[in-house]
A and B are shown apart, each in its own frame.
Chain A
Amino acid sequence: MTQRLRPPARAVSALSCIAATLLATAMPAHAAEELTLYTTREAGLIQPLISAFSAQSGIKVNTVFVKDGLLERVKAEGARSPADVLMTVDIGNLMDLVDGGVTQPVKSAALDAAIPSNLRGADGQWYALSMRARVLYADKSLPITSFRYEDLANPKYKGKVCIRAGQHPYNTALVSAMIAHDGEAKAEQWLRGVKANLARKATGGDRDVARDILGGICDVGLANSYYVGQMKGSKEGSDARKWGDAIKVIKPTFGNAKSGGTHVNISGAAVAKNAPQRANAVKLLEFLVSEPAQALYAEINYEYPVRKGVALDSIISSSIGELKVDPLPVAEIAKYRKQASALVDKVAFDQ
């Protein structure tokens, strides 16, 4: 539509300058080996891993950090899409890509050996790369040593619970797991109980739970495990450190007898259906589950490695420790996500 205009010559030259700049940034000199990564995982978090991969393999990685609409973008780009690897956080988002038909199956002995079978698609359509647990942050002075997710609905915590929006993927995944274990009716009852206990609106981020505990707004709340490492690992004197130091962390478990474990979610990746650099894409995935990369996941991102035998970060290991993971397969969680989201609406959790 713009080429039909006849704007003044100056505007035209300014425009072409900008276009040229954009072209220059968009099309780096075609190195012999490269691949394009689309990620809903913040690029800075995986940059150390990507740099290590490039250094080892000589493959340059172009990244696009997309938040919402990764699936729509890849779908619309279709056969011409430059994407090779699609990376997401949250199992539901990853399954959306698989269900949306923008991934392709991969066969790799290295991947299959490194990742337990409940953390990857049976057909190689998706792979988990790291895990995070949904844990309880509690005021340091509270005499709690063990906790069940169900306890969050206990009236004794009335006005003492902080949590982020119920519609956030981290929480819908937890509710999904609840539905998978105990059925929708029980999950609804639980959600109503938690809602009744909220000290403030269900909003903000996971770290706000720690901050609001320090601020005296609440006593307990659910949040992801890696923030504990981030906060407690911050520089002495920084705000984040103060928040981290105000809390202690407890690994909650599901009350259901078949579970007895802690809820985890994953970050994961898949090879794009129309990947122009398929071989390089597989190389990247294989690198990400190799021992040194998994150690980086633990040390830099404070996550739980998917590969057995890789040590946890020291802060995580001292403040949370090894997990007894809920045995429910993660793909199962994704199945109940819509139901969980509808429940959150139904009990007006975020209102």
Chain B
Amino acid sequence: MTHLRSVGAAWRIASVAIALGVLAPVLSLAWLAVGSGLAHWSHLARHVLPQASLNTALLLTGVGVLVLVIGTGCAWLVTACDFPGRKVLHWALLLPLAMPTYIVAFAYLDLLHPIGPVQGAIRWALGFDSPRQFRLPDLRSMPGAIFVLGFVLYPYVYMTARAMFMTQPAHLMEAARTLGATRTGAFFRVALPLARPALAVGLSLALLETLNDIGASEFLGIQTLTVAVYTTWITRSDLAGAAQIACAMLFVVLALVLLERNGRRHQRFGSAQRMRAIQPRRLHGATAWLATFAAALPVMLGFVAPALYLVWETIKRLRLGTGISSGLVASLGNTIGLAAGVTVVTVAAGLVVAWAVRNQGSLGNGARWQARAAVLGYALPGTVLAIGLLTPALAFDGALGSLIGHPGLPLMGAGIVLVVACAIRFLAMPVGGIEAGLARIPPALEQASRLLGETASGTLRRVHLPLLRPAIAAASLLVFVDAMKELPATLLLRPANFDTLATLLYAEAARGTYEEGAMAALAIVVVGLLPVMLLARSGLSVQAEAAR
């Protein structure tokens, strides 16, 4: 490795400041955790943790396998094969991203309920007339939760895997084939290992999302560790105890992330040559239709069915005379504004960290912690993160208030604390995405640029940023979609009279009238569709162009 001059001091300070910002809520939680005794751990260890850990492990394993199989399988299918419907499916496979898991869980609970349409049709076909005579097993079970979460979260893996497969030079696969590997063999021994960094990023996003999920698990009655954190905090009013469990979970997550990173520490995935991409192979006959079916199934289950359910429920509401409320329109504006703000802040921060870490990384490992710290926000449940942030953020806010002579809390009142909380929560996406993008830019380009006298920031601007465009676009859209769906931190940190679509929907849920929330849910999905489509178009096709 050539030793390059590292980034400027301002840049480095900014990166450290961001990392410390992410650490602030975690440190404040850790402080809470050590501030209390361990008396309740005997109860937890006997009655809660064994089952909750087992449930969490089962859920993570199940969802992990499902998203890997669906995500990687579909990504390879639409990259390497041509079949009817491929042109639509290659982007439609991203659509479940627009679906919050809690909405899908609710939709399926309703669709598959004994008095819902699916079982009703089955009973009709079999000639039963009461659910008391015949009904299917309850969705509220571990397999049900794995099914729901797996079919909603697979796009994280699909997206990263697809981008990776599209840019993998065809000659590598061809070389494998000439050396006697079968198609399957070449996929498992060449394409898949090369995609590992991307798969790791996608998988970790999906799994962290699963781990922190509270809505869907609660609906489906799965007692995970996250649910245990909530119970300890809310029902037993033991915030310190909850912080202890949350910190322990965080520790395990970090260990796993580091383990995976360590596993590919010495590997390089860059390819210096610009090569032609893999050309899809045309499938014929039954095989082709089978491929269509296989690629369409995740879209159907993860998006179309729940979306149609929401449309149907909305139509029912409108027919019963419920209009579109002004609250819905206002919260639509709030949602878009919040998501846009969070996106700008998060992606800018992500770029700073990823670049600082990369540049300093070539000198040593001194800055790596900043990128690792970025993952922390995503590894904590939203409410827990928000609780951790409350104390440091409001202390700062209060100090700022007395400095500028504001009687209240200026940042909290303006929603800036909320934006910061969301940025901390989603920083993992741009950092991970941009780091993966940077890893694929050959160091030779940077060395050449620097040798020719360009500065570090000039190199970033003129060499890396253009090459990173797809990665940045993808990260922005992901953050936007996720910020739009964000519920727990928004609920806790928002200023007065500020509703987003998610909080509006949650309010209906809290009132016990989910079906009334159908319109807000549909609005979330519709607003989320646009960035997801953009993601599909720009993210994937630009990446393909860049590879060409």
Contact = CB atoms under 8 A, between A and B. Distances in A.
Contact of A1 (B17, B131, B140, B408): B17
A69 B492 contact: yes
A22 interface: yes
Contacts of B420: 1-2
Interface in B1-60: 10, 13-14, 17-18, 20-21, 43, 46-48, 51
Given A18-B341, A203-B140, A341-B235, A42 B51 contact: no
Interface stretch (B182-190, B201-209, B218-226, B292-300): B218-226
Nearest to A89: B510
A186 interface: no
B495 A73 contact: no
Contacts of B219: 203-204
A201 interface: yes
B348 A7 contact: yes
Interface stretch (A101-109, A207-215, A258-266, A279-287): A207-215
B506 interface: yes
Given A25-B498, A217-B114, A1 B21 contact: yes
Interface stretch (A77-85, A118-126, A151-159, A177-185): A77-85
Contacts of B46: 346
A217 B344 contact: no
B233 interface: yes
A36 interface: yes
Nearest to B17: A1
A31 interface: no
Contacts of B513: 230, 240
A106 B228 CA distance: 36
Contact of B236 (A1, A22, A81, A342): A342
A346 B412 CA distance: 40
Contact of A43 (B10, B21, B507): B507
A125 B413 CA distance: 27
Given A215-B131, A338-B237, A65 B507 contact: yes
Interface string A92-114: 10001001000000000000000
Interface string B214-246: 000011110100000011011111110000000
B496 A82 contact: yes
Interface of B: 10, 13-14, 17-18, 20-21, 43, 46-48, 51, 109, 113-115, 130-132, 135, 138, 140-141, 218-221, 223, 230-231, 233-239, 316, 320, 334, 337-338, 340-341, 344-345, 348-349, 352, 383, 386-387, 390-391, 393-395, 397-398, 401, 407-409, 412-416, 419-420, 423, 488, 491-498, 503, 506-508, 510-513, 515
Q: Which 7 pairs of residues, A with B, have the shortest CB-CB distance?
A: A203-B221, A201-B221, A215-B114, A216-B131, A22-B415, A216-B132, A62-B496
8 contacts: A22-B414, A42-B507, A44-B508, A63-B497, A67-B492, A72-B239, A92-B237, A204-B140
